[in-house]
Every structure is written in C-alpha cells, then in structure tokens.
A and B are shown apart, each in its own frame.
Chain A
Amino acid sequence: MVPASEKFALRLYIAGQTPKAARAISNLKKICDVHLAGRYSIEVVDLIENPALGRGDQILALPTLVRQLPPPMKKIIGDLSNTERVLVGLDLRPRPRRASA
C-alpha cells in the first residue's frame, strides 16, 4: 500500500475520442477525486496524435492507465469501470487474497 502522502503521476493512453476513451477519462477523474484528492496529476496521451509514444510505455491495449509515480510503474487497462480493480491496480487497496478472475 502506498503511503497517504505520496503524489501520483498518472498517464492515460487513448486513441481518438472514442466512447471507451471518454468513459475511461470520466471514471479516472471520479476515482482520483475521491481517493487521491489534491495529490494527483493526469496526463492524457492520444496515440492518434502521438503514435511514437506508445512504444516507450509498451502500450498495446487501450485505454491504458500508467502509474508513472510513485514507482514501480503499474499498468491498468480497460475503461476503468471497475473501481475496486482500479484501486487495487494503483496500490490504493490491498490485493484480494484469492485473485478472482
């Protein structure tokens, strides 16, 4: 678990203004406002505009949320509709004992 004082630098990769991308952005903002109020930054990268950026972070699936800070780097893919999973992925919740698929 990440200490409550840590700042989060998040980058969300999308490709164009798709409904999935819009959902991911709004879901992410909601989660951050509730759980990371005042200690996060979000950068949205549209690969349609910057295709070269996908290679560096090994982006394959979209949308992909990358936790750049704090280390280690974490990746969360999907439209972030499952808040519990997003929180687990960001290390804001302990991983459930028995990983359910």
Chain B
Amino acid sequence: MAKKPNFRTEVAKAPTGIPGLDDITNGGLPAGRPTLVSGGPGSGKTLLGVSFLVEGALRYGEPGVILTFEEKAEELATDVRSMGYDLHKLCEEKKLLVDYVHVDRSEIEETGEYDLEGLFVRLDHAIKQVGAKRVLLDTIETLFGGLKDTGILRAELRRLFRWLRDRDMTTVVTAERGDSQFTRQGLEEYITDAVILLDHRVHEQISTRRIRIVKYRGSTHGTNEYPFLIGRDGINVLPVTSLLLEHEAPNERVSSGLPALDEMLGGKGYYRGSTVLLSGTAGTGKTTLSAHFTDAACARGEKVLYFLFEESPQQMLRNMRSAGIDLQRWVDKGLLVFHADRPSRHGLETHLLEMHHAVEIGDPDVVVVDPITNLMAVGTQSDVRTMLTRLIDFLKTRGTTAMFASLTTPTHSIETSETLISSLMDAWVLVASDNQGDRRNRKLYVLKSRGIPHSDEIRDFRFGPKGIELLPRRSNGAASPGKPKTSTRRKK
C-alpha cells in the first residue's frame, strides 16, 4: 500500500484493500453506508464486491455477509477461487457468510398484501451469526424479475437500504448498467452516498476495463476514468501517483556502466532516481548500452527489472553474452528479473498496469524498458504521453532509476522525432551510425542531462570483446585531448 494520503475531515472510510481503489476513493468506501457499483455484464462488479468483503474479513477484521441473488454460493466460490479467494475457508472460520437468495416467479403465486420481511430476517440472522460489518448484495435487481408487485418491491428496497444504514453496514450493492440511467431499475435513486461505474471497452480488439467514481457524498475523490485490471491477484486499479512534481531529488549518482560515458556525464554517471532516454536507429547498440547499465547496477548489488517488448529474455541474454556482457549471473543471483510481453497483447493502460504491478512486487532499484517505442505503437500520441508521465512519476516517487530505450527511424532527425517523450526525461543519450567509406561508424553523444555538466562531444565507439568501447577522441574535434570539454551547468 502506498503511504497514507492526507485526509481532510471526510466521512469515515472502509478500506477496500483493492490496490489503487483506496487511492482514488481517498481511503475506501463510505463506512456504514451503501455504495452502488454498476456495470455491464462481465465488467467485474461481482468481483469488486467480493474483494471488498474478503479483504474486509482478512485484513481489516470486518466480517461480511454476501447475499447472492444470481449465483449459488458454490458457483460464486468457484468464480473467485482463481483470484486466490477461498470463500469456503472464510465461511468455516465464521468471517464470511454466503446466502443464496433465489426467487422463481413461476413457482410463486401472489395473493394479496406482503412485504419482504423474510429477506430482512435472513439478512439480520446472517449479520448476527458472523458479526458482520460489511454486506454485499449481488445483484438485488434480480428481485424485479421474481416479484410482480414492483410497488412493494421498491418500497421494500428503500426500507432495506435505510435498515442497512441504521445498522452501520458498509454495503456494496451491485447493479446492471441501464440504458439511460446508472442502473436498470434506477437504484441510484435509493443509494446516494457513493456510485461507482465499471466499464469494459474494446478498442481495436484491445480490451480495457475502466472504473469511475461518479459520486461520493462527503468525500473528495478522483474524477477521471481509471483503468483497472482483473489479474491473478484480483482487481488492480491503476494507482494515481502524485502528479504534483514533488518527489525527492537524490544527489547520489549511478554509473552508466561505461567509465568513458560516465566521464562525459560529469565524471560520475546519471543521478539516482532519474529517467534516462536512450535513443538511436536500429542496430546502434541501445540494448547493449542498457545491458552495461544493468550490469553495473547488479554489480552494486541492486535489483533490476528489465521490460522487454521486442525480444525474449533468452534471446537478449544470448545476444549480450556474445557481445561480452554476462547478465545470466545476475539472473541466477535473483538481481535481474525480466518481464517480456508482446506490445500488441494489451492496450497501453493494461501494459502500464502490469508494469506498475511488476514494479510493486519486484521493488527494483533500476527499471529498463526496451524498447519503449514498441509500446508507443499501441496507443495514440496523447495516450502515450499520459501513460509515460504516469509511469515516470510512479518510478520517481519510488526513487527508481529508469532507462528507456527508444528506436528512432532513420528518415527523421532523431532530435525532432522524439519531442513527444524527451521533455519527460532527465538525461538523453543518443547513439547513431553513419557510413564512412565501406564501414559503418558508430557514434554516441549526450544531448541533455539535467543538473549535470555534460560533455558536448560526439564520441565514436565500437563493439569490443567486452561490449561497447568508446574510441579515443578525434584529434580534429573541438575537444582538447585528455580532458573532456563540458558545457556549463545548465539551468532548467
């Protein structure tokens, strides 16, 4: 969990335990009140409700009652088992009670005045049995299909929500999204404390789930649509990191992995916790430079999380071995972890979420994304920029040093083709090659490096037996031999 946000005097909250959701709700759902969770079929509303109850029972000492109107208790248990939720065990431990409420219109004859007191008695009994603090009603609208007298039903539902409030039950009420309103039966008329909408969209065959807090009485909350993921560990909402540019700025420096490049970066390399862009055309040595950086970090005993969007880890390790950099040893020591994925497999936001998730689990000191450009191909320009801003902000808040490799097209000038992302970066190193006679000449230079006096030189390099070797300076260059010429400290 992220650090506790600063609460103003807001309504009491019941934490959901769902990563990210507590951030955008500023602490959880309104305690002792009902929250409406609405969404289409398969949008994840049942899972959100079940997660809220299971987390409450497991982590917050708040037992719960699930009234399920659509699925039998066993079916529900099976559905959520893949997320690691063991409803049976929780029921045995009296932390949870699941009651399947079934109404079949065909077997019921209505003969005069009635009320739903039977439902109240059952719920009351269940609440007392486990000492419940949380209740899930999933999906109570089903009753509209089971009972003919909607007048009675509406009056009784209104009474039910008031009854739950009077008992201080933090309640999640799931509902099917209606055409013109939040729910088919207009439940938002009765539940006015908090309304959450879930959405599941498919755009260009890539699906994204989104969550939005439509309403939250007495509380500040995020108003955007936030992407979320249903993964092996349940629901994960994209954490909202500080967008205020208030992260720490460490003075410590970390080596680029190449002493000669460190020398060009004021003699000591990059700032720890900074963001480095490494760009160049195909085959110029971006991955090799990243590998040097990785190798140096691991040699200091730091953990590196390496995102690959083009190659498999095996392929990358083999190529680097043949280039003279042995990264396998760091994999064996557990310092280097790869996370390889096909960019086209998900939408941008899902990728971002998975990366967040991987960073939170692995807690690395250094993150490498190779190449970031492949990921950029799956989104629009503004999406990419938003996503990168979020990712960089997230990494900076954690103090993680990040390196992004970027593949540029030879037809454009490198420096103009990357205006989209370069402004987000603290340091920018370019690698390029040109043809000189019958051989290719590789060059490297530091285009920008915030807060570090860096060399203005363009240095030639080649691939030697131990990776990249910077060649001696050209004698005809402006640089005086032996001492790198550095620009004056820039103010940014």
Contact = CB atoms under 8 A, between A and B. Distances in A.
Dominant secondary structure of chain B at its interface with chain A: mixed
Interface of B: 99, 101-103, 107-122, 124-125, 143, 146-148
Contact of B125 (A51, A63, A85): A51
Contacts of B108: 61, 75-77
Nearest to A21: B117
A62 B118 CA distance: 6
Interface in A19-78: 20, 23, 27, 47-48, 51-52, 54-55, 58-64, 72-78
Given A51-B124, A51-B125, A52-B125, A60 B109 contact: no
Contacts of B114: 20, 61-64, 77-79
B125 A82 contact: no
A48 B118 CA distance: 9
Nearest to A82: B111
Given A48-B121, A54-B121, A54-B122, A62 B116 contact: yes
A86 B101 contact: no
Interface of A: 13, 15, 20, 23, 27, 47-48, 51-52, 54-55, 58-64, 72-82, 85-86, 88-89, 101
In the A-B complex, the 10 residue pairs with the smallest Cβ-Cβ separation, listed nearest first, are: A89-B109, A78-B112, A51-B125, A81-B112, A59-B118, A85-B111, A79-B112, A78-B111, A62-B117, A78-B114
Contacts of B146: 60
Contact of A60 (B113, B116, B124, B148): B116
Contacts of A82: 111-112
Most buried by B among A13, A58, A82, A85: A58
A51 to B, nearest CB: 4
A23 B116 CA distance: 17
A20 B102 CA distance: 23
B118 A61 contact: yes
Contact of A55 (B99, B107, B109, B148): B99
Nearest to A81: B112
Contacts of A23: 112
Contacts of B143: 60
Most buried by B among A64, A75, A77, A82: A77
B109 A85 contact: yes
A80 B117 contact: no
A54 B107 contact: no
A78 B111 CA distance: 5
Given A60-B101, A60-B119, A62-B118, A77 B125 contact: no
A81 B101 CA distance: 26
Contacts of B119: 60-61
A73 to B, nearest CB: 7
Given A62-B114, A75-B108, A89-B111, 7 more contacts: A20-B115, A23-B112, A54-B118, A54-B125, A60-B146, A63-B114, A79-B112
